[in-house]
Amino acid sequence: MPVSASLSLGLAEFVKNADIADAGEDAVELAKRVIVDTVAVILSGAGSEVAGPMLDYVSRMGQGAVPLIGTDASASAPAAALVGGTFGAALDFDDVLSMMPGHPAAVIMPALIAQCYDAPISGRDFVDAYIVGLEVGSKLSQGVGIRHYQRGYHTTGTIALFCAVAALARRFDLTVDETRMAMSLAASTASGIQANFGTMTKPLHSGWAAQSAVIAVDLVRAGFTASLSALEDKGGYLSAYGTEESDAGKVLPLLGNPWTIVSPGIALKKFPTCYATHRAIDGVAEIEREVGPLLGQLEKLTCRVVPGALLPLRFNRPRTGLEGKFSMPYGLAVAMLDRHLTIASFEDAAVLRPEIWSLYDRIEVVEDEACGAEDPDYNRKSAGTRGFVVVEARLTDGRTIMRRVDTAPGHPRRPLSWADLNTKFLDCAKSCGVDAGVAQAAFEALKDLEKSADVAALLRPLVPSAKRRADAAQ
């Protein structure tokens, strides 16, 4: 579809006129997997440590009619987006788009869910809005460039925001100029820094972005105005947030060429931890498939990664579950101790286990340029996908077993099956007290999302009773 030369105008025209049929017959199926996965991780956030303070906070913002899935509370649409986005990223179990790099569904989905109760939306239109929103924000990220992330910005908050704005603009059929103003308005709210990784504020970046998208679109629908071109203008988004590599001219030719949902596609996490640890965790599993459990026979475990891969992994000796999600030594240790990683593997008590701490002296993590030497796209990838990871176990019997892992499980080249997603969905639902039978029924209904006349009706059952929540917490 031809688009105009101006960045803001071209993006808005794409939102208005795009046809997701152009993405191919697999696009809807691929999108549904991400959508179901994101509902799951929102549920997991409702059972996490961020839930208490977040729900206490929004309760003081006044009543609203939007149910907060995974809880028995409700809130206004902006507050619901704030909560849903924060919950969706709370366990670092959310989707991964390495080209951004970020977690766009944890922003898009809560924004769309918050706006599906007052005015019903069909499953087909919900999927359509998700795909178009993903396309716009993901291609905008290519104009911003990877150095934006390397400067310390958290791109889920600063770029995935525009995915959600575009999705809502598509959902409400805004005019081209209304969409331009909504993106400009949202640009003034883009935020998130990596220094807050490993704390509750990291997932809050996703919540803020989802809330900002809802507010921006609602304000414009109410007649509020903003610049028509704040993305590219002097003193605008790209000049303020960009680097010397940023180039607005890169964006529009990439729209639908190919569609991001199809290529490169979205990675869904098998493990509830930072994606930069996933290949290493999988390497441990590969070694154990050959030699059996490493505990009791390990002398030393060495993990080699590309330079810069440890940037988001800020903690060598984590003391909380949140810190554990951003720790390569903990990821390797818990992979050996628990073997099958669940949400419980990253709770505070799990991180403090003496058995974990006893393993740290036998674990070494090093950055090695050789791990990235073969990667032609090295400079355009995130810490979790750049180059490869090597895990080497030296055993007490003198053997040394090594595994190289190029691609994490859940990556589009190693996708999670519907069975994998079902297991993840039930684990996430259990963590917040949703009945297993109710969760299974919701999972099956969401698998057929495009056939639904009302998305809200599929989500309403995912409200645990107070008793079930209390039981789950014990």
DSSP per-residue letters across 197-250: TTSTHHHHHHHHHHHHHHHHHHHHHTT----S-TTTSTTSHHHHH--TT--GGG
Report how far Cα 333 is from the mean position of its chain's Cα atoms.
Answer: 24
Angle, alpha carbons 312-317-318 (nearest 5°) = 70
Bridging pattern class, strands 400-405 and 363-367? unpaired
Length of the chain: 474
Tokens of 251: 């964006």
Dihedral angle sign, alpha carbons of residues 242, 243, 249, 253: negative
Distance CA 423, CA 419 (A): 6
Whether the Cβ atoms of residue 86 and residue 206 lie closer than 8 Å to each other: yes
* Fold classification of 275-405 (topology level): 60s Ribosomal Protein L30; Chain: A; (3.30.1330)
Whether the Cβ atoms of residue 89 and residue 107 lie closer than 8 Å to each other: no
Whether the Cβ atoms of residue 145 and residue 119 lie closer than 8 Å to each other: no
Q: How far apart are the first and last CA of the chain?
A: 54
pLDDT at 322 (0 to 100) = 84
Q: Which amino acid is at 114?
A: A
The helix/strand/coil state of 272 is: coil
The residue among 214, 228, 159, 222 whose CA lies nearest residue 192 is 159
CATH number of 7-254: 1.10.4100.10
The helix/strand/coil state of 447 is: helix
Distance CA 12, CA 342 (A): 41
Domain ranges across the chain: 7-254, 275-405
- pTM score of the predicted model: 0.89
Question: Quick one: three-class SS letters along 286-344?
Answer: HHHHHHCCCCCCEEEEEEEECCCCCCCCCCCCCCCHHHHCCCHHHHHHHHHHHCCCCHH
CB atoms within 10 A of CB 374: 10
Whether the Cβ atoms of residue 194 and residue 146 lie closer than 8 Å to each other: no
Q: What are phi and psi of 460, to 5 degrees?
A: -55, -35
Dihedral angle sign, alpha carbons of residues 205, 66, 91, 37: negative
pLDDT at 379 (0 to 100) = 65
Report how far Cα 167 is from the mean position of its chain's Cα atoms.
Answer: 16
Distance CA 308, CA 312 (A): 9
pLDDT values of the chain reduced to their tens digit, one per residue, 474 residues: 334 569 999 999 999 999 999 999 899 999 999 999 999 999 999 999 999 999 999 999 878 999 999 999 999 999 999 999 999 999 889 999 989 999 999 999 999 999 999 889 999 999 999 999 999 999 999 999 999 998 999 999 999 999 999 999 999 999 999 999 999 999 999 999 999 988 899 999 999 999 999 999 999 999 999 999 999 999 999 999 999 999 999 999 999 999 999 999 999 999 999 889 999 999 999 999 999 999 999 999 999 999 888 888 989 999 998 899 999 999 999 999 998 899 999 989 999 999 999 999 999 999 999 998 777 776 666 667 788 999 999 999 999 999 999 999 999 999 999 999 999 999 999 999 999 999 999 999 999 999 999 999 999 999 886 434 445 444
pLDDT at 470 (0 to 100) = 45
Whether the Cβ atoms of residue 278 and residue 382 lie closer than 8 Å to each other: no
Q: At what angle do helices 176-187 and 7-17 cross, to 10 degrees?
A: 120
Fill in the DSSP letter of residue 303. Answer: E
pLDDT at 338 (0 to 100) = 95
pLDDT at 465 (0 to 100) = 63
Detail the DSSP E strand segments found in 30-160. 66-67, 74-75
Whether the Cβ atoms of residue 304 and residue 368 lie closer than 8 Å to each other: yes
pLDDT at 386 (0 to 100) = 82
Give 87's contacts (C-beta < 8 A, 6+ positions apart).
Answer: 41, 42, 43, 44, 45, 46, 48, 50, 51, 54, 70, 110, 203, 207
Distance CA 81, CA 264 (A): 27
